[in-house]
Structure 1
């Protein structure tokens, strides 16, 4: 068996890569690994899903696996991933299981696991679950009789989460007109209601999930419909979520896209002004544009940089006792209020900043002047040879000296393919293109 866990849980084509049998085995193993109580009480697991059709099948398998391991199962129904993480913590459960493939197309699905408190699993725990699945060790103990787990609905799960995110907003959003795109996903039943209760006038699109249309030409990966709707309604802004609502991207009143870098900058500066940004530091990944770094530097905010992936952002926040981090893709983590990326929290924070300053989204996001960027995927036969090449290192050093503080170079081997990604930012697109192709040629000659 290959590695089960990717950067965000177990994911694959439903009923092909991610089968009911595998879902059952993962659930049983997770219940065994994550339940370390003294044996006097049965483990508790909260299960949620997004509305894609295969979620019904996989939910049944996950529930069977958990109950067969002796776990009490609380069914939360269709709701966002951050809601499932919150409920795992608020119920005191041992385990949270979210069945979702996030922004992926409908044929895919996934299983995201959370430990006590609603935290994503560290690598060591994922490895233990993988070993259990591969070795069948979770089958060593099968409870019978009264020891078999029971299953019941978790009442008011979505309302519990709605109250939680609304508690983070200390002012009414009255006067703001919003178009929210729910991607025909898990946010459809929660996001429009939450934004209305916060005081905004809300127009909703992508709120008719049928099991098949999640992320289909809509949501945070397809912003065209949102841009059109913002212009049609004359809205102050648009907010786009993905299938499980752990992301948030935005659109200005004029239809310009505001990415995660700009949203992170706006939220960081808001916390910084209130003295609520711990250590005056924000966490971002290596993919954040150099313009973001310049904006943070000018505002007196330090940037702690991590590898790509919201799990690494989370790890850095916890390790350094920081309060805010995020990615270009729109995953933002407000650690005071959430244990994972939360699109609704992000949307509320962004709109609260607009309300408190009286500034438009374009004015707020305009503080980040993005540098022209190019990304080239270079096919290679040996990623390790490229990483260890003196010729590549010398070329990169030369380009970095050439660009100075006005540009940036990033060479990143793919984690899944024989590719090396060459990313360059420079003062002009022409310079970025020239430098990137120059480096790509050297990488190709070595690899």
Structure 2
């Protein structure tokens, strides 16, 4: 192996590789959510991801890399895996293609592909390799962990099993391990450290405020259930939780008629909460790996009202802007919000009148990167995945700034505590729950008052199954179609016929479907616009028939 420093244990890798053969007919693609498909076909992928994670660690001088085995909000039969870089952020984009290449290499060519990859990326094999890994509650998780561990053994990497936990905790652990003993130390590298850091900050932030009423949490019958239960023990009566859909043992229960994705897409509460939710009472849903969050309540007319990622972003961003002003730092700390095309038009208008707003393509990696460009960057996808990022210079400023009045001192303390409360590595549903509850406590808002900050435009999201999603190319942060040629002009003409009409079309990143989003001033018009645009897509691509919801038929 000329040009490669160190030794690659080829015989060892070959022996383990034979235990995890790749089926010839399967093709895998590493996207924003990592690899994601049916759990039963991922064995070879997990073995190779173990080797890839070890090589990523060697490339970065032995820094610890994270591996999370989860399919988030997907059905229980699905599973997936994604790698986490040393600061707790997503895998460097350039390595996504490397991941796909190694996963798809035929069995007899895997070693050659591996050697070629090591050579082209100039990995020094003499460096140490450290990997921390975890999984959610899916039945296939246990066997996939064993395949991953075989990959680590094959290349001689040091592995740390974080067990069954949430995706955000795994991200937290990666950053905590890699910053240990440095001036950027993020926290104790354990679940206990995660709970302590957040609960202590929360207690300080709500100290002196009226007692907070219990919060109903739908745990999606996923890993968020045991983690929320542990967190509640740290919080005590500061914030009582009432946990529902906390069954992680019944087959098929995960994300079934519950969870953040169910609530967002159906725009109704989980059936298990009907009759439980009282008028005006706050409730929220996590997704299967607890990195998405949806709030909601029943209004005085008995109608379900959703408080999604857009509503969370507006609540949080406005609060932080106020604190920055009160701390006397408005000139030196600029707060901005990052959204995608899926953000409700009313939220964009509300935010744009108060602070800078950027629109980026769908996908956490785009939002996270754009948020890093601000001193304080707030990003939430409409689906409830999001967080707040404080730049290193801002963190230093908050620590060293000398307040000149008691009011400035109080605001500064609140900002510093927020940096401890918020999981800045990734969207974290439980951290975001505490963040929302802090803002509501400070503003003395009920869910009703929070919702009244602005009124969402009615919207509808539908999907069309197509033979080839790659025929649909977009520009302008996915808000406009480039191809098929002429389709965008037809959509523009159609939108003009509806009051407040807006619609865009984008291909899915993971399956052969095209997603159609539409909004308008009236619910009936938003529905009609969505299905008429979907009809255009169907005619253009020869897609499968769209199932219309009953309320539109």
Cα offsets for 1:289-326 (capped at 9, x unmatched): 1121122134x123211222222211222355542101
Cα offsets for 1:326-347 (capped at 9, x unmatched): 1111111222442111111110
Residue aligning to 1:352: 438
Residue aligning to 2:85: none
The answer to whether structure 1 residue 224 and structure 2 residue 270 are counterparts is yes
* Correspondent of 1:11 among 28, 36, 39: 36
Residue aligning to 2:503: 409
Unaligned runs of 5+ in 2: 1-25, 62-123, 263-268, 391-422, 473-480, 542-553
Unaligned runs of 5+ in 1: 95-116, 119-154
Secondary structure at 1:256's aligned position in 2?
A: strand
Distance in structure 1 (CA, Å) of the matches to 2:465 and 2:271: 34
Equivalent pairs, count: 385
* Correspondent of 2:347 among 284, 287, 292: 292
Distance in structure 2 (CA, Å) of the matches to 1:382 and 1:77: 39
- The CA RMSD measured in Å over matched residues stands at 3.2
Secondary structure at 1:412's aligned position in 2?
A: strand
Change (3 A) 1:40 1:197: same
* Correspondent of 1:88 among 163, 168, 174: 174
Could you state the TM-score of these two structures normalised by the residue count of structure 1? 0.76
- Give how far 1:226 is off: 6.0
Distance in structure 2 (CA, Å) of the matches to 1:441 and 1:215: 29
Change (3 A) 1:168 1:179: same
Question: In 2, are the aligned partners of 1:230 and 1:236 still within 8 Å (CA)?
Answer: no
Secondary structure at 1:275's aligned position in 2?
A: helix
Question: In 1, are the aligned partners of 2:176 and 2:189 still within 8 Å (CA)?
Answer: no
The answer to whether structure 1 residue 75 and structure 2 residue 161 are counterparts is yes
Question: In 2, are the aligned partners of 1:50 and 1:244 still within 8 Å (CA)?
Answer: yes
Cα offsets for 1:45-101 (capped at 9, x unmatched): 11111122221111122122113222211111111111000101111299xxxxxxx
Distance in structure 2 (CA, Å) of the matches to 1:410 and 1:73: 44
Distance in structure 1 (CA, Å) of the matches to 2:447 and 2:294: 12
Residue aligning to 1:25: 48
- Give how far 1:371 is off: 1.0
* Aligned pairs for 1:8-407 within 5 A: 8-15=33-40, 17-19=41-43, 21-36=44-59, 37=61, 42-92=128-178, 157-169=190-202, 170-172=205-207, 174-195=211-232, 197-198=234-235, 199-210=238-249, 212=251, 213-222=253-262, 223-225=269-271, 227-228=273-274, 230-231=276-277, 236-252=281-297, 254=299, 256-275=305-324, 279-298=334-353, 300-320=354-374, 322-336=376-390, 337-378=423-464, 384=471, 387-399=482-494, 406-407=500-501
Distance in structure 1 (CA, Å) of the matches to 2:510 and 2:288: 23
> Greater CA radius of gyration, 1 or 2?
2
Cα offsets for 1:250-292 (capped at 9, x unmatched): 1226563322221222112211221289633211111111121
**Stretch of structure 1 that moved more, 72-81 or 195-204:** 195-204
